[in-house]
Amino acid sequence: MTDVAAADAIDVDDWAAINDQMRRQDEARETLIKRTRDAQKLAKQAIFSLHRGQHEQAGTQLQQAEAIALELLPLVQRQPSLRPGSYAAALEEYAEGVAFKVFLEERRLVARREMPHVELEEYLGGVLDMTGELNRYAIAQATKRDSAAVALCRDLVEGLMGQFLQLDMKNGSLRKKFDGLKYTLKKLENTMYELSLAEAHRRQYDADGDGGGDGGGRDGGGRDGAQDDPEMVGC
């Protein structure tokens, strides 16, 4: 085949269009990766704010993360192959932050329908990650002897365990996160147990202290005892 025939066999304009399309896809991917990093960072900061009790700041950070996700959504819809990876990870982090905030403020699990732009696996992954934050929150509340707050965390995680057991999850990142759920539940149960032991010891200590309230009398060596001791008279 001559060079002329080979050139005629290839549609050069078609290949130029392919090259242009690939270049635009790469540019879109780079833009998406950069912006989704910003969204994911904001969601992480929101979770940190929630642990510090800064709920208003967390709400603002989550709104900013959501705005970035919605800004990029048309691009993802035009090129669905861009969703897995950084975009999905950012939405998963966002779902985790929203779920944690709703639990702290309303003592319930956020419903998937409340985040319509978050897909199923992103929602489930966010909820599973949120249970780790519940464990950290429960430990902080245990140091304040807030057994009711710890029990709420334990009860939600226990309820989630029952719900996830009904799902047919294949191997993958979601399955790995679910496998860690039982360890989170075990940690929360241990925290509850240790808290109950500490409370029992405190009550016993208080009871023992109440029983020894007359220690300042004769046998206690206090002032009255000294006055009754003949050897101490006149000292």
Pick the more confident residue, 16 or 108. 108
Whether the per-residue pLDDT at 24 is higher than 60: the answer is yes
- Please, are residues 68 and 36 in contact by the beta-carbon 8 Å criterion? yes
The answer to whether position 87 is within a domain reads: yes
CATH number, domain at 190?
Answer: 1.20.58.200
Among 83, 106, 129, the domain-final residue is 106
Query: Does 230 score more than 50 pLDDT?
Result: no
The verdict on residue 3 lying in a domain is no
Q: Does pLDDT of 117 surpass 60?
A: yes
Could you give the CA distance from residue 224 to residue 117 in angstroms, rounded to a whole number?
A: 78
Give the domain range for residue 127. 119-201
Confidence of residue 185 (pLDDT cuts 50, 70, 90): very high
Say whether both 53 and 20 belong to one domain: yes
Model confidence band, residue 221 (pLDDT cutoffs 50, 70, 90): very low
The two three-digit tokens of residue 133, written as one number: 């934050």
* Neighbour tally for 119: CB within 10 Å: 16
Query: Sorting pLDDT into bands at 50, 70 and 90, what band is 28?
Result: confident
89-101 pLDDT, tens digit per residue, is 999 999 999 999 9
pTM of the predicted model, to two decimals?
0.79
Q: The CATH number of the domain where 102 resides is what?
A: 1.20.58.2140
Which pLDDT tens digit goes with each residue over 42-97?
Answer: 999 999 999 999 999 999 999 999 999 999 999 999 889 899 999 999 999 999 99
Same domain, 69 and 92: yes
In this structure, the answer to whether residues 149 and 197 fall within a common structural domain is yes
Task: Look at residue 223 and tell me whether its pLDDT is greater than 50.
Answer: no
DSSP structure string for 37-52: HHHHHHHHHHHHHHHT
- Domain tally for the chain? 2
Among residues 120, 122, 129, 112, the alpha carbon closest in space to that of 180 is found at 129
Predicted pLDDT of residue 97: 98
Closest CA to 177 of 140, 137, 122, 138: 122
pLDDT range class, residue 3, cuts 50, 70, 90: low
Residues shown for the chain: 235
Residue 214 lies in a domain: no
Mean pLDDT of 207-234: 50
Instruction: Report the pLDDT value the prediction gives residue 11, as an integer from 0 to 100.
Output: 87
